Structure 1
């Protein structure tokens, strides 16, 4: 069993790797691969075969090196999973860089997350309550929160709304992926599965006992593409958020200013982060240049 100190040391090393603060290995011959290549190799394995297929030994075999040489780059699998997660989070466009009002931006962000989970299903097998704490994940989180600040909601409500939308997208994506996995592993499509059980509806099912279900079946409403169900649910979640925002007591547009970062030069609100996710300290290039000239003047005097 690892001591708490060992776990803390490993966590610190993992965070340094995520943020590019760790030192590269200096001992021995320089290997023909990088940390990024290790992570990308692991992501490819997880995409193709699931998380169970990812191990330091298999990655080493794929890269043509020894398992121990990988530990010079990554302390263990837990840190590797964090690196994998944050790497693929970089594929998601920042929500506040999209056009439109806050609802339109949340809608686009939810669809982007849905796409991410379907490209990398293994993400949903990791605990959502213990995020990787990497730069791409933080940029995504901040961008969605920035979109939500336009609602004027107080901090606790804003965080709860974020959790609500995130939980819906994750849950819907997990159901969709589970159904696809059953179909893939069994070799039986949903249509084939239902056809094989037609006897139930023809000889066992009694419509008079289940009149609503029978009417829905007759209307063809019981079976539809999974993505259509996701879109329907997404709109209803957004409807509920919009109603919640509209019904907030004493709400006015000025409440969103509590989340704005003031420009250190003029005091006006600084805009959201750049598309790269990096924060913008000054509200304009003019203020940035003025601050630079002021610093230069102080150094010369």
Structure 2
């Protein structure tokens, strides 16, 4: 995964692009010499497609311009920098996420739905998991996402700071798991073996070299886990286990609130 981050330098120009016409910035420029068919939205949509296919590290303004059939410098008439482009891409992906909670669901189930929606989004767009959002993009997609996720805690009895802390913890776990899932997927693509096939090939070697007397816990528990999961690491199981443990912990916190 790349070490990209969002909103490293928030400027009025970036915020105008994120919010489009709501702060007086059109998503379509029509100045002389600029293709009318090109717009911020079209640029962002194509950038997401390219990042989904090849990863964020492979996305350059030059490669993006080539796909759009324009010169790289033309893009800077619409998006001031690649960093701003990443903000726009992330906000667009956030804006496309679901915004409804199931009627009558408990707040714990709503939290599961929030976690699942974020993980599904990162499975569709693996590059998202590699972007640090310690400084979020602050666009309409981000704000709608945050507002929706906060409403999942309705009736939990938690205080405002506890809600924000719990949500931060849950989403950080989801992002870390999504990064691990993407890494496992890349390993599969590189050597043609899935995790179960990899484990099957290395298990006999581990048994030969792992001294059970010296590492009794590692030998016993590692062997049991490998046999049960069919691999050294099962991202799907790890996700379900971690998600449910976090929500159970938040539920206990709510009981004492």
Give TM class, smaller chain: 0.7 to 0.9
Give CA deviations for 1:11-33 in whole Å, capped at 9, x if unaligned. 21111111113144232154322
Q: Is contact 2:52–2:126 with CA below 8 Å preserved after alignment? A: yes
CA RMSD of aligned residues (A): 2.2
Q: List per-residue Cα deviations over 1:119-141 (Å, max 9, x = no partner).
A: 11111222120111111111110
Does residue 221 in structure 1 map to residue 228 in structure 2? yes
Q: Is 2:19 the counterpart of 1:25?
A: no
C-alpha distance in structure 1 between counterparts of 2:204 and 2:148, whole Å: 52
Structure 1: tracts of 5 or more residues without a match: 1-6, 249-301
Per the normalisation by structure 2, the TM-score is 0.85
User: Could you tell me how far apart the structure 1 residues matched to 2:96 and 2:114 are?
Assistant: 12
- Give the direction of change, closer, same or farther, for the CA distance of 1:218–1:18 in structure 2 (3 Å limit): closer
Which residue is 2:252 aligned to? 243
Which ranges in structure 2 are unaligned for 5 or more consecutive residues? 1-7
Query: Contact conserved, 2:30 with 2:36, CA < 8 A, in 1?
Result: no
Partner of 2:142: 137
- Between the aligned partners of 1:47 and 1:150, the Cα distance in structure 2 is 37
CA drift of 1:222 comes to: 5.2
SS in 2 for 1:242: helix
How many residues were matched structurally? 240
User: Using the alignment, how far apart are the partners of 1:201 and 1:134 within structure 2?
Assistant: 49
1:179 to 184, 192, 205: 184
- 3-state SS of the aligned residue for 1:92? coil
| 1:89 and 1:140 in contact (8 A); partners too | yes
Measure how far apart 1:218 and its partner are: 4.5
User: Is the Cα contact below 8 Å between 2:48 and 2:89 reproduced in 1?
Assistant: yes
Is the contact made by 1:11 and 1:79 (CA closer than 8 Å) also made in structure 2?
no
User: Alignment partner of 2:153: what SS?
Assistant: helix
> Which moved further from structure 2: 156-165 or 202-211?
202-211
After superposition, the C-alpha distances for 1:243-288 in whole angstroms (9 at most, x for unaligned) are 010012xxxxxxxxxxxxxxxxxxxxxxxxxxxxxxxxxxxxxxxx
Shift of 1:34: 2.2
In structure 1, what is the Cα distance between the partners aligned to 2:52 and 2:220?
Answer: 41
Of 50-59 and 222-231, deviating more is 222-231
CA distance in 2, matches of 1:232, 1:218: 17
8 Å CA contact retained: 2:110, 2:152: yes
Q: After alignment, is 105-114 or 187-196 more displaced?
A: 187-196
Alignment deviations for residues 117-172 of structure 1 (CA, whole Å, 9 cap, x no partner): 11111112221201111111111101111222421222221211111111111111
State the TM-score, normalizing by the size of structure 1.
Answer: 0.73
Counterpart in the other structure of 1:13: 13
**Residue among 224, 228, 231 paired with 2:240:** 231
User: Which protein shows a greater Rg?
Assistant: 1
Instruction: Please say if residues 149 and 158 of structure 1, whose CA atoms lie closer than 8 Å, have aligned partners that are also in contact.
Output: no
